[in-house]
Structure 1
């Protein structure tokens, strides 16, 4: 049976009120009494109720993380880095996998509020959730515009889209396509397409935009990409993420299209896993560790001073290009 506050009090030889005051660090308690209470808690493996502590005005030291598709290597690595950073700062996390389900994300928001988390880091892809304007908690967004009052941390998506086109052009590509979501919704990731379009205009090249959806199954994406390669004159493709880029390489292999001789491909994200297991893929590398650290630092500042006016609403971190065999011949 789970130990209760009364069990701790009995073991320590003190009152329930004294145990509560020790746990909530309220009022004067001698060090000897504190030691007795903590020793009893450890012996009984008693865990204080975070919600009960919050009702006494104490921090729960819990942070909610809301992300999509945590099986995606990019989000998996980012969440891991965020959790490590938060843990080192004394916080525990509640991880919510919202996927592409708006109602699911709303339910997770309610659950995080019920658990009295100190703050939320949100990076799910669902849009139009008005609750973000009313939760009354410190929130920081990754790569998504959730509200006018919520700060955003992201990489420099525009520079990434621009850099990808430049690398393909310098490698000899002249019919450069973009694979991603063409719908502009005010999110930082929209800037990948903007960087692509502006750079093509600089080179005097035509735009070719092919839609792929984040929520679409890999098999449907692969089918769509194979049709694109069969029906187009593409000799260069800027992909909005690494997993899409890998599908392009797979489609090219199945169609006997030589990479990089006939087709050059760049991804976007550059996780450690992709770099290790797919060394053939050239990609735009996001500074994942730096993004995680900045998300946590901005959230901590909001938790410490929740009513302080925001000095900055958007933070952009630089990207780099990792050149591999998908854009140039190996030596």
Structure 2
């Protein structure tokens, strides 16, 4: 039995009664074409069950319509929602997504970067924590960063971390807290998220209090964080307010506080940061600074598309946060 011949663009053109050039223009959306001509070509494609050669089209257009996403983890409410929203917005614009979950491992992140570059993605949206990787200095690759400083040429999309830090700390002060502690990630990370810490420091100093900060590692396990927060309560038994840099840490702090016989909010007031949908569902009573995650994703995709299309004058964007009133502060 002879092998069935693969349908070619010439066959579609013949069936539609148009030239191969016209059929190609329909396929690649190039030039002005009448609706009648477009319909004839599409009808012919359907009748012949023609499937375009995507590799050939990519070579012709010098585009793959693939966008790479690299984030430290999707096993986190903030990054999980952010990744889902990015994929949704990219799909609406005709892009397909390749996702790398770096798990805060620089070697794994570099591997994913190399793989994405080999797949010739049209652009990258990144939020991983590792810095100094040479792949981020690719001269012709559009990159957008979320909450991370990659290099000076890469625009950053972030929530207003400083505004959020002021709001969280001031809320604790307004409720009468006089021994306020902040938990944050490592200071070695160049990121707009450091502004949460800077805002906390400024606000407590302005109110004649001493800043006290406990630092967590991005690679810390839940048990390691619990041990750190137990240390916090042992070293500062008079703590009456905590501003946690994320909602997961805030929920763990509340759990550990119960071990030290502190009732929230009677004895201890806690404010978190992120306000992802899943967190709101699981911890609806948590008082937190809510990041506009959906808006962050939409903005990042729009900026990436502008960079892919070689638009000039693209800058970093900071989006305002809101205060979610729970019962923990």
TM-score using structure 2 length = 0.87
Uncovered stretches (5+) of structure 1, i.e. residues with no partner: none
Tell which deviates more after alignment, 135-144 or 240-249: 135-144
- What is the rounded CA distance, in whole Å, between the counterparts of 1:276 and 1:221 in structure 2? 23
Q: Deviations over 1:89-127 (max 9, x none)?
A: 222211111121112112212222222222111111111
Cα separation, partners in 2 of 1:263 and 1:53, compared to 1, 3 Å: same
* 1:152 Cα deviation after fit: 0.4
- What is the rounded CA distance, in whole Å, between the counterparts of 1:136 and 1:219 in structure 2? 43
Aligned counterparts, 1:239-250, within 5 A: 239-250=244-255
- What is the rounded CA distance, in whole Å, between the counterparts of 1:28 and 1:201 in structure 2? 65
| Structure 1 partner of 2:261 | 256
Aligned counterparts, 1:215-254, within 5 A: 215-232=219-236, 233-254=238-259
1:11/1:40 contact within 8 Å kept: no
Cα separation, partners in 2 of 1:276 and 1:26, compared to 1, 3 Å: closer
| Structure 1 partner of 2:187 | 183
Correspondent of 2:280 among 267, 275, 287? 275
| Structure 2 partner of 1:35 | 43
| Structure 2 partner of 1:52 | 56
2:12/2:48 contact within 8 Å kept: no
| Structure 1 partner of 2:296 | 291
Q: State whether structure 2 residue 306 is matched by structure 1 residue 317.
A: no
Q: Deviations over 1:255-311 (max 9, x none)?
A: 3211111111111000111112111211010011111111011111111125x3x34
| Structure 1 partner of 2:174 | 170
- What is the rounded CA distance, in whole Å, between the counterparts of 2:62 and 2:135 in structure 1? 24
- What is the rounded CA distance, in whole Å, between the counterparts of 1:122 and 1:214 in structure 2? 16
- What is the rounded CA distance, in whole Å, between the counterparts of 1:245 and 1:121 in structure 2? 28
TM-score using structure 1 length = 0.87
Cα separation, partners in 2 of 1:135 and 1:97, compared to 1, 3 Å: farther
Query: In angstroms, what is the RMSD of aligned CA positions?
Result: 2.7
- What is the rounded CA distance, in whole Å, between the counterparts of 1:128 and 1:140 in structure 2? 16
- What is the rounded CA distance, in whole Å, between the counterparts of 1:38 and 1:117 in structure 2? 29
| Structure 2 partner of 1:126 | 130
Cα separation, partners in 2 of 1:311 and 1:62, compared to 1, 3 Å: closer
- What is the rounded CA distance, in whole Å, between the counterparts of 1:304 and 1:13 in structure 2? 31
Uncovered stretches (5+) of structure 2, i.e. residues with no partner: none
2:12/2:41 contact within 8 Å kept: no
Q: How many residues are matched?
A: 316
Q: State whether structure 2 residue 127 is matched by structure 1 residue 161.
A: no
| Structure 2 partner of 1:209 | 213
- What is the rounded CA distance, in whole Å, between the counterparts of 1:69 and 1:311 in structure 2? 28
Cα separation, partners in 2 of 1:325 and 1:115, compared to 1, 3 Å: same
- What is the rounded CA distance, in whole Å, between the counterparts of 1:28 and 1:283 in structure 2? 52
